[in-house]
Each structure stands twice: as C-alpha cells, then as structure tokens.
Amino acid sequence: MAKGKIFDEFLLIEFATRLHGVDSKKEKGDVIQWFIERTGISRGTVYRIIEKIHNKEPFHNIAVAKQTRKSRKSDIELAQEKRDILNISAIKFQQGTNAKPIPTERAIIIAESMGYIKQEKYSRSTVDRLLVKYRINAKHMKNRPFAHRLKADYPFHVVVVDATPLDLYYLNLDMKVERYDIPPGDKHLDDILKRESLRKIWVYFLVDMYSGAFLVMPFASLPKGADSKKSGENADDYYSLLKFCFLPKNNLLSPLDDYPPPLLDCPIEGQPDILFCDNGSGIGRSKLINNLCGNLGIKIVTHMPGNPSAKGAVEGRISAFKRSYESMINRNLIKDINQLIYFCLSWSHDHNKRSGAYNKWREGARDKPVIRLTEQSFKNASVT
C-alpha cells in the first residue's frame, strides 16, 4: 500500500453512495462501521471524510490524502509499550530534568541489558516518537511541573500509596499462585481471566517520604459488583493496607506455619499527617477511606491526573519490586497467596534494614514522636 493512500477511490464512491441512501442514525452507523472495517481508519477520520464529501471535494483528492489509522495493537500490547517507554525515559533522564539526558540509543541498550525491554524490540526513531506521544520527551520533561511538591520533616509527616498488578501471575480457584501467559491474539485480559477462573493479584505499597521506609501487601480481591469482571484497586484493600501499616507490628502473626513473623522489629506505625495518592476509586473517591482519615485527622491530598511523577517515591518502589522480585518469582517456592504475602513482607523488611530506612525512621521519631494507634482506636475511627 502506497504511503498516504489508505483505500481505493471506488471504495470511497461506494461509501458515499451508501451514505446518501440512509435515513436513520442506526443505518448511518452501520455504513460507517462497514467503511471502518474495510479501511482500518479511525472513527474520527471517517467523520472528516464525510465532511469533505458534503463539501463536494473530489473523491480522488480524498482517497490519496494522508489519513489516521486506528491502532492495530491490543490493550495489553499498548500497556506493555507504555511500560517499556517509561523505563527507557527513566534511564534517559536519570540525572534529573536539569541535566543533559543521555542519548536515546544508549538508553535503549541499557534498558535491554537490564532486562526492562526485549532485545531489538525498539529502534531509536520509534522510541523518540513514543516519547513524544506519551509527553515524556526532553521538552516535556523540562517543562513538566509536579502536581504537588512533597517535603516531609519527620516520620509519617507524608505517606504515599499506590498499587500495581502482577503481570504474569494470578490466583486460581484453589488459592494457588499460577503463572499464565496471555495467548497471542487475545486482546481482552479481563475476559481471559474470567474464562480461565483466575484473579488478578494487586500489590499495594505505602512509602514514608521522610525515611524512605515502605511496606507492601498483595491482595487478590474478587471483582466488585455482580456483573463486574474487572478487578482493580479498591477501597476495601486500601483499608486493610492502612490498618496493617498504621498499627504496631509486634503482634503480627506469620501467614506461614513454622516461619517466624517477618516484621518483628519493624518500627513503622502510627498516624500520618498527610496521605498522598491519585484520585482513583481506591482512596480519592472512597467514602470509607475519607471517613477513616477524616476521623483520624489525616489529610488526603491527590495529585493531578496524568502526572504519576508527583508520587515518584512509591513509583520507584514499584519499579524496584518489578525488577528485583516479580521477575524472580518461582512457582516451586511461592505456591499460594500466604507464601506470596510472607515473601513480600520479608523483601520490604530486608530492604528497609539494609538501606538504613528503619534507622532514619527511629532517629526522626525520637525528635518528633508519632501518634500511635490501637486496634480499638482504628476501629472507632472507621465508624461513620
């Protein structure tokens, strides 16, 4: 097919003829859908062509004009593409927005060598085009402001929360963690999971902005609503996460028999001042969480849509989890949800100890003690 010519002139004439003979909106919609299926163009482009036909522009000029094709990639492929470009962008601008970014070709090589993207999947020109598409090229990175400037002066001054799904591992009806590779050609993940009786596993994160200490907990909740097939971030899981993070860990039971509790000397507990999150249904629009935080005196602050860099601390933890943990999940070692919970807690605990986050938390808490909560006080704050 020649560049700039996406359909035959006679096909365009037939489309105009069919369009001229319809009377109802339904018939017009059927004709438009017929044309889309034969040309592969977007619906917006079809309406621009109809306008040109009404303006009596020659059919030959319309047929050879450059048009916009609708994407041939599935939702899963587009989501993976976006993750790849975000990883490349993070490498490209790793020295900060004021420093000179490294060349795109070198960023691609680094991303391939670190296993973030597949070998030889992207060329330099493709990556540069996608950086512009997702507005994370040098120009936008330089001029892009944060939704909020986050600064914490003491432990639990500001905490940031977010969640991410596991990409390859799901929970089956037997509560076992199962790897499932999406078959080529299948585009709708939620339909596939429903057909295979699998649940998404979402991993929730909370990061303290002062010390950098973080806690992590996986959930595999059922989809909300009788007719719903899509599971995602939800208020009930966030409520459980906040309860787990705010209350003391010294009485925490191990989810596995014959294994010690994974957070025996974890100092993270108390009532934060500010809870920073996106404006999703999990927290931003949840009456349950807003009621809990309102009664505890916790201020909920949401960042602007489309600006995940505003909560970069938790995004960094998610990225580290996917690099160092999710990619190394072994089904022979982690067979069910309790084992997954145990090893997630152990990973965060070990990381916090080695990075010095726990020590920084304890030093800050000596100067500015946190407000401690009990099981009963947390329960009382949950009552409307």
Residue 119, pLDDT above cutoff 60: yes
Let me know whether 171 and 301 are in one domain: yes
The two tokens of residue 270 are 């108390």
Residue 148 lies in a domain: no
73-82, 190-199, 240-249: lowest mean pLDDT where? Answer: 190-199
> What is the C-alpha end-to-end distance of the chain, expressed in Å?
64
Query: Mean pLDDT, to the nearest integer, of 49-56?
Result: 85
Among 143, 175, 190, the domain boundary falls at: 143
Q: Which structural domain, as residue segments, surrounds residue 320? A: 158-381
Max mean pLDDT range (39-48, 190-199, 339-348): 339-348
Let me know whether 91 and 199 are in one domain: no
- Angle between the 337-355 and 312-324 helix axes, to the nearest 10 degrees? 120
191 vs 365 pLDDT, higher one: 365
Let me know whether 243 and 308 are in one domain: yes
- Region at 209 (left for phi over 0; alpha for psi -120 to 50; beta for the rest): alpha
pLDDT of residue 1: 35
pLDDT of residue 302: 79
pLDDT of residue 228: 46
- Provide the domain count of the chain: 3
Residue 302 lies in a domain: yes
Among 20, 36, 64, the domain boundary falls at: 64
Residue type, 75: D
Q: What is the pLDDT of residues 340-378, one digit of tens each?
A: 888 888 888 998 998 899 999 999 999 999 999 999 999
In this structure, what DSSP letter does residue 103 have? P
Let me know whether 283 and 226 are in one domain: yes
Max mean pLDDT range (45-49, 50-54, 162-166, 367-371): 367-371
Give the whole-angstrom CA distance, residue 327 versus residue 322.
6
- CATH number of the structural domain spanning residue 349: 3.30.420.10
Let me know whether 330 and 185 are in one domain: yes
Query: Mean pLDDT, to the nearest integer, of 23-44?
Result: 81
User: How large is the C-alpha radius of gyration of the chain?
Assistant: 26
135 vs 67 pLDDT, higher one: 135
The DSSP bridge pattern shows strands 158-171 and 274-277 to be parallel
Q: What is the mean pLDDT of the chain?
A: 79
Query: Mean pLDDT, to the nearest integer, of 20-25?
Result: 78
Let me know whether 135 and 165 are in one domain: no
Residue 197 lies in a domain: yes
Q: What is the pLDDT of residues 205-238, one digit of tens each?
A: 899 989 989 999 988 876 554 444 556 678 889 9
For the whole model, what pTM was predicted? 0.58
- A 10 A CB-CB count for 166 gives 20
Query: Mean pLDDT, to the nearest integer, of 43-52?
Result: 84
Let me know whether 210 and 333 are in one domain: yes
3-state secondary structure 156-216: CCEEEEEEEEEEEEEECCCCEEEECCCCCCCCCHHHHHHHHCCEEEEEEEEEECCCCCEEE
Strands (E), the chain: 158-171, 177-179, 199-208, 214-219, 274-277, 299-302
Residue 198 lies in a domain: yes
Give the helix/strand (H/E) hosting 353: helix 337-355
pLDDT of residue 310: 47
pLDDT of residue 99: 65
Instruction: Tell me the percentage of the chain whose pLDDT exceeds 70.
Output: 77
Query: Mean pLDDT, to the nearest integer, of 244-271?
Result: 86
Residue 189 lies in a domain: yes
Residue 153 lies in a domain: no
103-117, 192-206, 287-301: lowest mean pLDDT where? Answer: 192-206
103-107, 198-202, 377-381: lowest mean pLDDT where? Answer: 198-202
Query: Mean pLDDT, to the nearest integer, of 186-191?
Result: 64
pLDDT of residue 53: 85
Among 20, 45, 64, the domain boundary falls at: 64
Let me know whether 267 and 364 are in one domain: yes
Let me know whether 32 and 102 are in one domain: no
The two tokens of residue 231 are 């599971």
**What 3-state class would DSSP assign to 301?**
strand
Query: How far from the centroid of its chain's Cα atoms is residue 197's Cα?
Result: 23
Q: In this structure, is the dihedral angle defined by the CA atoms of residues 382, 281, 227 and 338, taken in order, positive or negative? A: negative
DSSP per-residue string spanning 202-264 = EEEEEEETTT--EEEEEE-PPPSSTT-------HHHHHHHHHHHHS-STTPPPSSTTS--TTT
Query: Mean pLDDT, to the nearest integer, of 34-54?
Result: 82
Residue 147, pLDDT above cutoff 70: no
Residue 80 lies in a domain: yes
Residue 111 lies in a domain: yes
Let me know whether 18 and 83 are in one domain: no
Let me know whether 216 and 259 are in one domain: yes
Let me know whether 332 and 250 are in one domain: yes
39 vs 111 pLDDT, higher one: 111
Query: Mean pLDDT, to the nearest integer, of 273-300?
Result: 83
pLDDT of residue 47: 85
